[in-house]
Structure 1
């Protein structure tokens, strides 16, 4: 439902659905995928919101307003951080978040944000951490080995959830690619009147958003929507030839190709906006489709083990899949860390995986 609704916003040949039951079902998808704000603003922008049932409009508007107030608060927190960074001479680039919403969706409330992601040069990490803690973000999360960011949070009055700042020095694990993050810094432009705060170029923003969608295995329409919106906004200014040349140097070709192929396959009208041409992977032959559970499972296998350009990078991910960190284990099996040893948690994870595989086999046969 949600994908049909998104397609109707970008394809002039498709009209908005008129069946009220469609919107009742669509709300269930939207509830699970946090795209209320995007849909509300895009539909309003395209003058099609009033073509939908009133209950649907009210639901979108309610969540949009909540996201708007939240984003305004988060932007104020970011600006306070920027002031501290300016004072300390720390260069920074905001990733995604409220600035992405403003630049590519057209309004601060057009895309809900729940945390703050900042790119910092590696040499400035300690200074940046000091500035973040100075602003009250002193709940430090356990660092993830071989990862590319550290996280700090603080509780917000009136909210059951903390606000988190992620300080990045890269956008991919160094052990799974040869990404040259300095290239992103070199093309970054000044942000507003700041001296040390930059914004990624459109090109590198798109590169980053594609990798971000891949990292989450495109498991929500919001990742598709980010990519689609950028394609629609930039249209003919997306240099796909350069993108894949850079991806080859960075050893991210499979990740980029896989992500864009899935997006273009689900939303074929994008070919009329910005043709991907030879870079898109061939579509599956008719008759190869399986049940949705099997399809999801094979997509996960492809994402987990065949998204890397080298055997070395694939082996790194295979090792982490077989022997995940304790933190990853806890997130996957959802158990009390004080009650179980690493081996016990690992045993529970393997049991969970085996049960999932059995369910998939049963669904096929």
Structure 2
């Protein structure tokens, strides 16, 4: 990953920026493919390093930064309409990630791109929240998922080919995959600005949420690394990891936290000087298709604190909902039988496994 060197140099005072123009030509394509131009631009500018990079690199970063600025202004406007309605209705709400996260932890509205609105509410207020969101023009985007922790609504936005989505959360991980309760999050939340019912998560719980969010996506993009690194950097060692890990152990999410932070710290060792990691899982860097499959198995089935939670995930993976089948296949939802859908899924999985095995064997046989 080309941009690993750049990210490292942005957070490690002892490191210097890459010098070769050829590096930046490769890095900008990778940065744009992961939609992290705003983060990189803002961090370079904040640390006084922007002008040390080639002009073409600055221009392309600034172009994406400006695009995100206009997009985030629109999303903030829509977010504030929702929050205003919830405040007026006396519904306790916490905005998650999104524009408020960008402002507080990255330092600017445009410093982190976002494409939707995430809000956390209490489970008993779901119906009232849904009605308010619908009154603002949002329509239900997907069917309700049993044991899930959020539902989605969307509405078209003028000038945008992609609708704006609002996700209403009542939790931060799938139900029945942990013992996590939201009461501590609400208890330690504080009022946002002059509101009575709109809250913000504590720094500790923000970090907890961001780590679990990164785990849920198996850290498959540098944006998840950046979120975690930036919160650590911004809070300047004000996170109590011992206390957080104790909570994670009680919540049944400790393996997820340790796995996630071990990977991030393994990639960016300079984090130890910012916030020492009390528990670290040793990981050997291995490349190749089969090892990627092992990493997937480790993430998908072995990241749970109890055997029962692991078994549930194995079952859900073997027999996913029909909608999830087509999501995994990256195909438009089809009104076919469940048996036929499962056949298509397993056929695709087998093809990927055989391809990975072939690549591994061919690589092992090469001198």
* TM-score normalised over the length of structure 1: 0.96
List aligned pairs for 1:1-365, cutoff 5 A.
Answer: 1-277=2-278, 279-284=279-284, 289-338=285-334, 340-365=336-361
* TM-score normalised over the length of structure 2: 0.96
CA drift at 1:60: 0.6
Distance between the aligned counterparts of 1:339 and 1:78, measured in 2? 34
CA drift at 1:293: 3.0
The C-alpha deviation readout for 1:122-170, integer Å capped at 9, x for no partner, is: 1111000011011111243222222111110000011000000100110
Distance between the aligned counterparts of 1:131 and 1:339, measured in 2? 31
Distance between the aligned counterparts of 1:153 and 1:269, measured in 2? 40
Distance between the aligned counterparts of 2:139 and 2:335, measured in 1? 26
Distance between the aligned counterparts of 1:336 and 1:102, measured in 2? 35
Structure 2 gaps of 5+ residues are 362-367
Distance between the aligned counterparts of 1:258 and 1:352, measured in 2? 28
Structure 1 gaps of 5+ residues are none
CA drift at 1:340: 2.8
- When residues 228 and 125 of structure 1 are mapped into structure 2, their CA distance, relative to the original with a 3 A threshold, is same
CA drift at 1:337: 3.1
Structural RMSD (CA): 1.2
Q: Quick check: 1:33–1:220 contact (8 Å CA) kept in 2? A: yes
Distance between the aligned counterparts of 2:176 and 2:59, measured in 1? 47
Residue range with higher mean Cα deviation, 66-75 or 132-141: 132-141
Q: Quick check: 1:291–1:364 contact (8 Å CA) kept in 2? A: no
Q: Quick check: 1:333–1:345 contact (8 Å CA) kept in 2? A: no
Distance between the aligned counterparts of 2:148 and 2:12, measured in 1? 39
CA drift at 1:290: 3.7
Residue range with higher mean Cα deviation, 181-190 or 333-342: 333-342
The C-alpha deviation readout for 1:92-138, integer Å capped at 9, x for no partner, is: 00000011001100001100011000001011110000110111112
- What SS does structure 2 have at the residue aligned with 1:193? coil
Residue range with higher mean Cα deviation, 329-338 or 318-327: 329-338
- What SS does structure 2 have at the residue aligned with 1:174? coil
Distance between the aligned counterparts of 1:199 and 1:93, measured in 2? 5
- When residues 139 and 251 of structure 1 are mapped into structure 2, their CA distance, relative to the original with a 3 A threshold, is closer
CA drift at 1:82: 1.4
CA drift at 1:30: 1.2
Q: Quick check: 1:291–1:363 contact (8 Å CA) kept in 2? A: no
Q: Quick check: 2:288–2:360 contact (8 Å CA) kept in 1? A: no
CA drift at 1:336: 4.2
Q: Quick check: 2:289–2:357 contact (8 Å CA) kept in 1? A: no
